[in-house]
Amino acid sequence: MRTQISKETGFKTRGWQFLVWGTPLLFASIILAQTTAFQSSKSPTYDETYFLGSALATVHQGSLNERICGAGVAPVPILLYWLPVAWRAGGEPRQDAWQGEVTDPPLIEQARFLNSLLVGIPTMLLIYCWLFLRRGFAAGFLGAALITFSPTMIAHFSLATTDACFTLTSLIALGTLTRYAKEPTLRNLCCLSLAVSLAISTKYSGIFLLPCTLIVITLTVFLHPESTSVPNIWSLSKPILRKCILFLVMLIPFTWAFHLFCFTGPLKTVSYEETPDESAWVRLLGRGPVARQVMEISHHTLKRPAPFAGILFQFLHNAGGHDAYLMGAVSEHGWWYYFPVAWSLKSTPVELLYTLIAFCLACYLLIDSWKTVRHRAADIPPIDQSSDRQSETGEPTSHAPLIWLLAGGMLLGMALTSRLNLGQRYLLTLYPLLFLFTVDQIWRWFHFRAWLLYTFGSLCICLQIISITSVQPNYLSYFNDSIGGPAAGRFYLLDSNLDWGQDLPALKARLDELPLQDRERCLLYYFGTGSPQGYGISAFDMRQKLPENVDEWNYLALSANYLQGLYTQARDPFAGFRSIKPVGQAGYSIYLFDLSTPQAQKALQHAVDVLQKMQESKEKTE
């Protein structure tokens, strides 16, 4: 009898272990299947060509290419999945890293696969394990499923850019920050500095982690004072200042180490004589012998560390602004509400529902945490950190949800004040934070009603699957049905939200459906850095040369960005085509127009005239 019970118990234990470990393997295989479908059907996006060219130059010269950090790109993603590809290719110098070549597609596919393997799957695993350890298997399963079937997340797991990698390293840093909040030891502070420096070296938006860390360090000292006497502000300010300085002192060399201790040229790029009066150098030092000597030493002797150059570039880029598109308008300085609109249009119904639920649960959590802080403040002597006051739900107050809220608030604040309105991808890290916080708090409040949690979770997963299959494999172009889906996306958002140069293979398939004589009489005005010839497209490229006679051409393939007037120097040459119905499209980012009608010929002639003036103006400027 005992033997039979032991066998049954062992079988159940083995079955449970298989379920616990088999679930992330299942989701990992689904992620690989979805990303592979995207990678094989999409051409290089705008940034990927630059990353490849920079990696090839890095291998060729044997050191980190100066154009990487000099253009505001953090090096970790390039070192992680572009450098191995460039190493196998042998490396080569490229005068223009933005210009793709015919041989690029297989190299870019290799880097994309490494991104899926080294970034996409670990991100899902991190969310699964975090929720599993906090709330159990069902919560971990739901969190992993929401990530696995999110069109936005899968799109960036499929691309070898910085956004998904930054999401993973940010989550790692937040996990380390949570550990430090629980045990504020010197060892954990050192690990925290390392994790934050890794996130900053992945994408310079990781600067948002600095205020998060400093706030947590301050709160840990206030909530867990080292003495048992009644503390005062002065006695607490010294350990706070000491720990913050120590964190920053360790952060700087760690960050530079991830940049391979490289420089990007002189500290001051121009000499004293060439420095304009409006320069910050002149405003700070003025004009005179001392100012001349300082500027000349900075120009000829001192070098600029790579992290400083990258962060400075992004700061200046944000201050100067960048062309952006929102609901028919083009602006260089953007709109404060751009990212909330992008979130509402490109998030799935489940993600929007979780946004609403998260807002409500955050209010409850903050109120509950405030009551806990007031309770501790009233206790004399202070409560030891091992005897946390229980919340209204009967469990100890936890650090992780508050840190997720803090990080999400900092990211959102940066987005609302940013002038770089280039795409929803800048909010990518908010999606895992949203799933972590909402699932965690739902399980906290309703853990005693398992049937309700399982029903709700199953429904959410089904709706998320419906959303991603509705746009497969065009995950990057996903828009929810509130505006009519991705087909209507170009009227609301552009750039990396819809058109990042990814649909050359779809254009090739669309052109192959035309008669041979029409294919030879097709014009192309394409937004992207990929080489059309690399995908067998022989259309006349209007970016290289303008047609002399518009009557000779039968079709025009036009990218959505240019169709809607983005990146056209405010001259909008293709405005006439917005009133013409396209006869076909490639994916959701390239539209095919029939040029046989008088209206189309007139619109094309206007476009050629405007483009000619733009070229002449550019030549005069150069």
pLDDT value at residue 9: 52
Confidence band for 386, pLDDT divided at 50, 70 and 90:
very low
Both 344 and 450 in one domain: the answer is: yes
CA distance 43 to 41: 7
Range of the domain at 393: 2-257+339-469
The residue from 444, 469, 494 where one domain ends is: 469
pLDDT higher than threshold 60 for residue 410: yes
In a domain, 293, yes or no: no
How much of the chain, in percent, has pLDDT values that exceed 90? 69
In a domain, 272, yes or no: no
pLDDT higher than threshold 80 for residue 525: yes
- Residue 197 parent element (H or E): helix 186-200
Structure tokens at 502: 């990814």
Please give the tally of structural domains in the chain.
Answer: 2
Both 423 and 533 in one domain: the answer is: no
The residue from 469, 492, 524 where one domain ends is: 469
Between 383 and 66, whose confidence is greater?
A: 66
Structure tokens at 208: 């948002």
Both 203 and 253 in one domain: the answer is: yes
CB neighbours of 293 closer than 8 A, spacing ≥ 6? none
CB atoms under 10 Å from CB of 185, counted, come to 11
Both 409 and 530 in one domain: the answer is: no
DSSP secondary structure code for residue 205 in this structure: G
The whole-model pTM stands at: 0.92
CA distance 76 to 167: 13
In a domain, 589, yes or no: yes
In a domain, 252, yes or no: yes
Of residues 111, 55, 105, 62, the one with CA closest to residue 83: 55
pLDDT value at residue 294: 83
Both 557 and 424 in one domain: the answer is: no
Is 59 within 8 Å of 91 (Cβ atoms)? yes
Both 359 and 508 in one domain: the answer is: no
CA distance 77 to 115: 9
Q: What CA–CA distances, in Å, run from 62 to 87, 92, 114, 392? A: 10, 11, 22, 59
CA distance 587 to 452: 40
pLDDT value at residue 6: 52
Is 34 within 8 Å of 154 (Cβ atoms)? yes
Of residues 38, 137, 123, 118, the one with CA closest to residue 80: 118
Confidence band for 95, pLDDT divided at 50, 70 and 90:
confident
Secondary structure (3-state) at 324: strand
Both 437 and 522 in one domain: the answer is: no
CB atoms under 10 Å from CB of 604, counted, come to 24
pLDDT value at residue 228: 43
Per-residue pLDDT of 152-188, as tens digits, reads 999 999 999 999 999 999 999 999 999 999 999 999 9
In a domain, 539, yes or no: yes
Both 461 and 514 in one domain: the answer is: no
Both 22 and 103 in one domain: the answer is: yes
CA distance 205 to 199: 8
Taking residues 10-39, what's their average pLDDT?
86
In a domain, 126, yes or no: yes
Between 89 and 7, whose confidence is greater?
A: 89
In a domain, 401, yes or no: yes
Confidence band for 208, pLDDT divided at 50, 70 and 90:
very high
Both 411 and 539 in one domain: the answer is: no
In a domain, 314, yes or no: no
pLDDT higher than threshold 80 for residue 192: yes
The residue from 469, 488, 520 where one domain ends is: 469
Both 384 and 522 in one domain: the answer is: no
Confidence band for 266, pLDDT divided at 50, 70 and 90:
confident
Both 532 and 428 in one domain: the answer is: no
Classify burial at 8, counting beta carbons within 10 Å of its beta carbon; exposed 0-12, middle 13-18, buried 19 or more: exposed
Per-residue pLDDT of 212-223, as tens digits, reads 999 999 988 877
